[in-house]
Structure 1
Amino acid sequence: MHSPTAPPILDISPIYGADSETKAKLVEEVRKCCHYNGFFQITGHRVPLELQRRVMNCSKRFFDLPLDEKLQIDKNRNTFNRGYELLRSQMLEVGTGPELKEGLYIGEEIPEDHPYFLQKKLNSGPNQWPQTVSEKEEFQKTTMEYYHAVFELAKDVLAVLALTLGVESNYFDPLTEGAVATMRFLHYPAQPKDEDEKLNRGIGAHTDFGCVTLLLQDEVDGLQVLDAPTGQWLDVKPVPGAYVVNLGDLFMRMANDKYKSNTHRVINKSGRERYSIPFFFSGNPDYSCECLPNCREQDEAAKYPPITVQEMVTASYKESYGRAEKYKEELKMKKPAPAPAPAVAPVGA
């Protein structure tokens, strides 16, 4: 009988060492997670706890700013997903309301003369930095230091994933070379405990768009992963210093559905504010995603035609943000028209 358990916590330090036995054991544990639901937590990585704490402090400082100051870097002012995102801008789960979270989108600093910017590559452009946040220079420096550290960790995770497929650890080098990754600072306001859970999700039930996601949580929980065999939602408890790792739709597609991009959501029922920093690793925009080695039987066909990273992720973005806008328009249509003002009797009547 299946007994659902939350994603396991795996020590990935063996990948940095020479002990082949412990490395092989880790690879097997990761492989099992990929086949089951594509979720696990990792410790033993090379991102310092002190840096994690500094960047979480940056996130909180930003969201403490007045709304009008955050809106000075509204991401709707550009087409490449950089800057501030208002509450209820995105809607990932049909049947819920737009999501109760606000965010700051950050990526590699791409100047306007860079080929990626000129060719309108996925999420590629200059960052929009808040001008009124305290210690502005330190804010930018810490944010980018952290971004680059997690970028390197994502490459380490992909090296482990390559080993689970029975290929060399450098198999994904063409995917990671020139890769695009988007980081978000996220803030979930405290919700009243009797709030309608169905409509007021921090993030609705969804799967991620790209290859792999690395999530840093603060101490407030709320992340839940669906256990598909039982239909139960499993809480993913925050572990200091750990990353929640999950595969995205693009990786599942390349794995011919053998590895899972699993449904998850955030419902902040803690009565407290929640902060998290997801890092979405998409890959080189021009990389052609095809069926990976050892992901189909000898006579089994690939389920999907080749698609580039750019094509796959761009289509997913349009769907989720379009859904939120459609929902808001439908709400406007349902509002009753204002009652006509009462007639004013003529003076002296």
Structure 2
Amino acid sequence: MTIASAPPILDFSAFYGDDEAAKEKLINEVRECCLHNGFFQITGHQVPEELQQAVLNNIKRFFALPQEEKDKILKDKNTWNRGYEKIGSQILEVGTAPDLKEGLYIGEDISKDHPYFVHKKLNSGPNVWLETMPGIDEFKAVTMAYYQAMHALARDVLAVIAQTLDLDPSYFKDFTTDAVATLRCLHYPPQPADSDEKISRGIGAHTDFGAITLLMQDEVDGLQVYEKTTNEWLDVAPTRGAYVVNLGNAFMRWSNDRYISNLHRVINKSGKERYSIPFFFSGNPDYIIECLPNCREQGQPAKYPPITVEEAVKSSYQQSYAAAEVFKKTTAAPVAVSSTAIVA
């Protein structure tokens, strides 16, 4: 991997095989990426391509609905991060307008008597479905099957990451047990070719909030990853069937800043509609994040005090959505979102 290259595509099939040399190669490649910028791509996973295409086709049907239909399940109507989000609801980068994307948030479909809902745990509650949508039963079945497949893949990826730190593959078992995750279906309308990239973004430069993210892109490009060594933005060209994997802020903290949660953004100047589906894996909301073994220099203290997964992720959410509200009310100068955001 050269210094200024887009995240490499790694063959993850070695994880499921018996070739120890191939497994060791995969672990070494993932370690290098985690140390460099926290991004890599994988093929050879066990998520069927038919399921990937089915979920993409279904979310395209949802976003094609009239605005008044989508507005019936606005995410603002509940407190557990489920349902539809309008274009312009979030700002994730200092100095930009609200993000030019709309989304649909889906998660574990739990009842209101579940302990997670009762105790208002992170992003936990029943899904909010548009029951009047044509083919809604298929939509539910496909998206929930995909959600479960992503949970399984996240556990596999974390098993490899554990080994990059010379930990047992099962080290993250408690973290992944009863884990919270969000499937965020996104639609980016095309931006005008002459739009100002310093102001108009599909999604502004940001780092993710949780532990790891698994992103499926469609065939339209637009995703860019920041390369700090050369101060440039690198395009991540879509690869059919592949997942873009990146570490989030919670994992960077967990690793005592050894591994990187890196900036990325989307600018859709393709002239086409763009769709993507990130899967944000936060983990068990009550799990305590504290410095991982092998992630501090001998004799040196950890950089951060212990914190729960819920505390770590919620603080990042509050910053990004509060910034969008201030922008809408004032339409004034750019709003500072967080210390991780930069102006490209």
Q: TM-score, normalised by structure 1?
A: 0.94
Query: Equivalent residue of 2:215, what SS?
Result: strand
Shift, 1:132, TM fit = 2.7
Using the alignment, how far apart are the partners of 1:332 and 1:139 within structure 2? 40
Whichever residue aligns with residue 252 of structure 2, its letter is M
Q: List structure 1 runs of 4+ shifted beyond 3 angstroms.
A: none
Q: Please state if 1:124 is matched with 2:124.
A: yes
Using the alignment, how far apart are the partners of 2:309 and 2:51 within structure 1? 30
1:256-271, aligned counterparts within 5 Å?
256-271=256-271
**In the alignment, what sits opposite 2:236?**
236
**Residue 61 of structure 1 contacts residue 133 of structure 1 at CA under 8 Å; is this kept in 2?**
no
Deviations 1:137-176 (A, max 9, x none): 0000000000000110000000000000101100000100
Unaligned runs of 5+ in 1: 334-349
**In the alignment, what sits opposite 1:342?**
none
**Residue 92 of structure 1 contacts residue 204 of structure 1 at CA under 8 Å; is this kept in 2?**
yes
1:102-121, aligned counterparts within 5 Å?
102-121=102-121
Shift, 1:332, TM fit = 7.7
**Residue 11 of structure 1 contacts residue 44 of structure 1 at CA under 8 Å; is this kept in 2?**
yes
**In the alignment, what sits opposite 2:218?**
218
**Residue 38 of structure 1 contacts residue 246 of structure 1 at CA under 8 Å; is this kept in 2?**
yes
Q: Please state if 1:63 is matched with 2:63.
A: yes
**In the alignment, what sits opposite 2:293?**
293
**In the alignment, what sits opposite 1:203?**
203
Aligned residues: 332
Using the alignment, how far apart are the partners of 2:3 and 2:44 within structure 1? 27
Using the alignment, how far apart are the partners of 1:90 and 1:253 within structure 2? 24
Q: TM-score, normalised by structure 2?
A: 0.95
Shift, 1:3, TM fit = 4.2
Shift, 1:328, TM fit = 1.0
Query: Equivalent residue of 2:105, what SS?
Result: strand
Using the alignment, how far apart are the partners of 1:316 and 1:41 within structure 2? 25
**Residue 190 of structure 2 contacts residue 268 of structure 2 at CA under 8 Å; is this kept in 1?**
yes
1:168-183, aligned counterparts within 5 Å?
168-183=168-183
**Residue 3 of structure 2 contacts residue 229 of structure 2 at CA under 8 Å; is this kept in 1?**
no
Whichever residue aligns with residue 151 of structure 1, its letter is H
**In the alignment, what sits opposite 2:302?**
302
Unaligned runs of 5+ in 2: 334-344
Using the alignment, how far apart are the partners of 2:133 and 2:166 within structure 1? 47
Change in CA separation of 1:258 and 1:332 when aligned onto 2, cut-off 3 Å: closer
Whichever residue aligns with residue 39 of structure 2, its letter is F
Deviations 1:97-148 (A, max 9, x none): 0000000000000100100000000000000011232211000000000000
Query: Equivalent residue of 2:241, what SS?
Result: coil
Whichever residue aligns with residue 166 of structure 2, its letter is G
Query: Equivalent residue of 1:252, what SS?
Result: helix
C-alpha RMSD of the superposition: 1.0
**Residue 81 of structure 1 contacts residue 123 of structure 1 at CA under 8 Å; is this kept in 2?**
yes
**In the alignment, what sits opposite 1:282?**
282
